[in-house]
Amino acid sequence: MKGSNNIGVLLAWLVGMALMSTAALAAPNPQDSGKQGDGVSEKRTTDMAAVENSKETSNAVVRSYEFTATSHHSISKLPSDFLMDQKQIWTSPAKLRLSDTEWLVPFSGITAGLFVTDRDFSKHLSQSPTTISHYKTLSNAGVGALIGGGAGMWLLGHASHNDHWSETGFLAGEAAINSLVMVEGLKYSLQRERPYQGNGSGSFFQSGGTSFPSEHAAAAWSVAGV
């Protein structure tokens, strides 16, 4: 047992000496520390200069891209852009893919559920003319604020030479116009009755029906999406 203990102590001593030797070899020479510090400092300065140059190049590319993007939209091109947008909107169902079922199926289910419960839900809403008038006022004010905000951004962008603001305001106006045309086309094609018309079930293809879809909701979502 005593011999075994001595062997263990000897092995531990050898391992400790080996570790100390390795640490000593890895330690930097005090005379070279100044040179290494200078080298590290020079490398750091070079790296920082490279980063600054990279940032300046990136900013120049972004500014160039923004200028190019905004230059594609103008009032003179509005008619051609409008026709192209309408073509994209009305032909979009033909471009659906199998992967679109991930959002299309849940959306269709929710829409069907809303149609089924629409009549019962309407019965629980206030039918007071004053309350309905207030709702209409709030709805009109909300849409007007969104459209006015877009127009304001367009004007301020031109006044301050901010291409990004001008682009955002212009696209907001385009979105509102495109949604209005689409909604009016669907509204007079589907002819859905309002809750106070007929038996209140909101039947489709009825003379005088103009409740679906809502131009207020369409305009609001279109402008907000920009």
Kindly report, residue by residue over 187-214, the tens digit of the pLDDT: 999 999 887 787 777 888 988 888 888 8
pLDDT per residue as tens digits for the range 132-191: 889 889 988 988 888 889 899 999 998 999 989 999 999 998 999 999 999 999 999 999
Q: Which residues in 42-63 are b (16+ Cβ under 10 Å) and which e?
A: eeeeeeeeeeeeeeeeeeeeee
Q: Are 167 and 69 in contact (CB under 8 A)?
A: yes
150 or 11, which is more confident? 150
Provide the token pair at 144: 């007007």
Distance CA 103, CA 5 (A): 73
pLDDT at 54: 53
Enclosing domain of residue 177: 151-226
Q: Is residue 103 part of a domain?
A: no
Distance CA 225, CA 152 (A): 17
Q: Is residue 165 part of a domain?
A: yes
Q: Are 202 and 119 in contact (CB under 8 A)?
A: yes
Distance CA 203, CA 191 (A): 8
pLDDT per residue as tens digits for the range 72-125: 567 788 888 899 999 999 999 999 999 999 999 999 999 889 888 888 887 788
pLDDT at 72: 57
Q: Is residue 23 part of a domain?
A: no
Distance CA 132, CA 126 (A): 8
pLDDT at 209: 86
Q: Are 163 and 169 in contact (CB under 8 A)?
A: no
pLDDT per residue as tens digits for the range 35-44: 444 554 555 5
Give 166-204 as a DSSP string. Answer: HHHHHHHHHHHHHHHHHHHHHHHHH-PPPTTSTTSS--S
Q: Is residue 50 part of a domain?
A: no
Predicted confidence band at 224 (pLDDT cuts at 50, 70, 90)? Answer: confident
Q: Is residue 208 part of a domain?
A: yes
SS3 (DSSP) at 71:
coil
Tell me whether the omega of the peptide bond preceding residue 213 falls within 30 degrees of 0, making it cis.
yes
CB atoms within 10 A of CB 100: 11
Number of domains in the chain: 1
Q: Is residue 191 part of a domain?
A: yes
Q: Is residue 15 part of a domain?
A: no
pLDDT at 24: 44
Q: Is residue 9 part of a domain?
A: no
